[in-house]
Amino acid sequence: MNKCSVSIIAAIGAMSLIGASNAAEYPTRPVRFVLGFPAGGPTDAAGRIIAQALQPTLGQSVVIDNRPGADGAIGAEMAAKASPDGHTLLMGSSSNLAGVPAMRKNPPYDPVSDFTPVAFVGWSSLLLVVHPGVPAKSVGELIAHARANPGKLIVAAANPPTIFTMAQINSAAKVEMLNVPYKGDAAAVPDLLSGRVQVLTGGTNLLLPYVREGRLRALATLTRTRTRPAPEVPTIVEAGVPNFSIYGWFAFLAPAKTPAAIVERLDREITAVLRRPEIQPQFEKIGLETGGPSRQELPAFMKEQIASWTAAARSAGMQAQ
């Protein structure tokens, strides 16, 4: 073995020791979960449950940093540019990890190359709701009402699932509903309750209490199967929108080049939290179903989701802006 080979092996060994040392000391300060959406929505609710359960095992505080705006892109971009030391994680969702890349020609981050996958969290239950002033008790009746009143129904475009769902309905049914942008589900709810806007797709945890009170009406859920918190609500496919394959999901990502030992520990600790029996009822209340791709499978999963969302957008007539 020549001196050059020995030097390379020594350098690799030194780097491994540094990575192991960093992992052994990690975390040395509070860990930050960056969320691209405001408090009160499904991403926020799930993030807070996990953060509280994770603190004792990490031995440090886990803080929630809500950075709403631009369909979650503001928070995702911030997390991508953070120091890759495991102290900043993005709790991303289908909105900013698949929806934004499908909607923008030049998104400010690449969900695959700018991040290191940490752990998949689960699938979210999203409800399509209307204000009670809308005389529709099903998606079919909503379409009929929109067709009879072109341009008069206003959609709270608070997240990519809403934008994509309504674009799909508009395109398939040849109707016209107008979008008004909001920074997130929670920001849109006051105007939805007052009737200033009439349609929204948002987190079950946020919207279902208003549905139960009769202040909103649920027409469909975007989950793959009927959601446990509201089993009486049909899926969007059952409600008459064929070949609809956009679902809400969440995953933790770290900035690219985060040491592997730290990523492995975070994956192990977060996965253990998700499996705790006392956590499952909390997730069910917010319409979250755990299980999904492994950390190693996440990049391929995200690529597939981006392709799926992009295809759905183009079939609905939406072009990247």
Does one domain contain both 140 and 82? no
pLDDT number for residue 316: 65
Query: Do 202 and 267 lie in a common domain?
Result: no
Residue 77 scores a pLDDT above 90: yes
The pTM assigned to this predicted structure is 0.78
Among 229, 286, 295, 293, smallest CA distance to 50 is for 286
Helix (H, G, I), strand (E, B) or coil at 305: helix
Percent pLDDT > 90 in the chain is 58
Q: 116 pLDDT exceeds 60?
A: yes
Looking at the structure, tell me whether residues 136 and 87 fall in a common domain. no
Q: Are residues 205 and 267 in the same domain?
A: no
Q: What is the mean pLDDT of the chain?
A: 88
Q: What is the pLDDT of residue 6?
A: 47
Together in a domain, 289 and 204: no
> Could you say which DSSP state residue 235 is in?
B
* Helix, strand, or coil (residue 39): coil
Structure tokens at 109: 């981050």
Between 12-16, 82-86, 260-264, the lowest mean confidence (pLDDT) is in 12-16
For 211-222, what is each residue's pLDDT tens digit?
999 999 999 988
| 22 confidence band (pLDDT: 50, 70, 90) | low
> How many Å apart are CA 258 and CA 165, to the nearest integer?
35
Lowest mean pLDDT among 144-153, 187-196, 203-212, 310-319: 310-319
Interhelix angle 139-148/160-173, nearest 10 degrees: 70
Count the domains in the chain. 2
* Residue 91 falls inside a structural domain: yes
Residue 239 belongs to some domain of the structure: no
**Is there a domain that residue 7 lies in?**
no
Tokens 């709790």, residue located: 91
Looking at residue 97, the DSSP 8-state letter turns out to be I
Terminal-to-terminal C-alpha distance of the chain: 56
Mark whether 217 and 136 lie in a shared domain.
Answer: yes
Using DSSP's 3-state secondary structure scheme, residue 156 falls into: strand
Considering the domain architecture, whether residues 145 and 217 belong to the same structural domain is answered as yes
Same domain flag for 217 and 303? no
Give a yes or no: residue 227 inside a domain. Answer: no
CATH number of the domain encompassing residue 145: 3.40.190.10
Is residue 1 predicted with pLDDT exceeding 70? no
Query: 205, 221, 237: which is the final residue of a domain?
Result: 221
183 close to 36: Cβ distance less than 8 angstroms: no
Residue 173 counted as domain residue: yes
Which tokens go with 55? 């603190």
Is position 14 within any domain? no
In a shared domain, residues 283 and 268 = yes
pLDDT-above-70 percentage for the chain: 91
CATH number of the structural domain spanning residue 47: 3.40.190.150
Is 16 within the bounds of a domain?
A: no
Average pLDDT over residues 176-185: 87
Q: Give the confidence band of 245 by pLDDT, cuts at 50, 70, 90.
A: low
Taking the CA atoms of 161, 162, 167 and 172 in sequence, report the sign of the dihedral they define: positive
Provide the domain limits for residue 292: 30-124+247-315
Domain check: are 78 and 59 in the same one?
yes
Please provide the DSSP assignment of 67-120 as one string.
---GGGHHHHHHHHTS-SSSSEEEEEEHIIIIIHHHH-SS-SS-TTTTEEEEEE
Amino acid at 10: A
Determine, yes or no, domain membership for 321.
Answer: no
Please indicate, yes or no, whether residues 206 and 136 belong to a single structural domain of this protein.
Answer: yes
Give yes or no: residues 106 and 251 share one domain: yes
